[in-house]
Structure 1
Amino acid sequence: MPARDVEIRGEMIRLGQLLKLSGVVDAGSEVKDVLAAERVVVNGETESRRGRQLHPGDVVRVAGEELRVARGA
């Protein structure tokens, strides 16, 4: 399955914000639970910090899908 682009406005986005923006979680309070229960992989490395900074081109695998950070218009 190809990665789904998630457009961001600036130069970076935090992992927790990306999970909320992409619809993986409904509320910020759920991010910690997802990171604890799921294997979240950022650019091939397991990640557990919701504050991890992501930039356009980064790829996140979580909840059975792949998300690619893309710069918005």
Structure 2
Amino acid sequence: MQTIDFELEGDYVELNMLLKLSGLCDSGGAGKKLVAGGTVSVDGAVELRKTHKVRAGQIVQLGDVEIRVLAEQE
């Protein structure tokens, strides 16, 4: 399994944008399609809300890729 550490800027990032910013898709629209397809989970549960607010400490999984969302380093 591949793990990506994503440093959060601000309080949250929308799920579709997290997929884009992590390099797992080319656009926010492509991210929305992945989420709508039921292939993305947040903290182990399938998430179908495309603009779900992902916060520091949460883990997002798409296939064999895991994104760990980290708090912004100051």
Q: TM-score range, shorter-chain basis? A: 0.7 to 0.9
Structure 1 residues not aligned, in runs of 5+: none
1:2 and 1:35 map into 2 onto residues whose CA distance is 19
Structure 2 residues not aligned, in runs of 5+: none
The correspondence of residues 1-73 of structure 1 with structure 2, limited to 5 A, is: 1=1, 3-37=3-37, 39-73=39-73
Task: Tell me the secondary structure at the aligned position of residue 26 of structure 2.
Answer: coil
Q: How many residues align?
A: 73
Runs of 4+ in 1 over 4 A off after TM superposition: none
Check conservation: 1:24, 1:63, Cα contact below 8 A: no
TM-score, normalised via structure 1 length: 0.85
TM-score, normalised via structure 2 length: 0.84
Identity percentage of aligned residues: 34
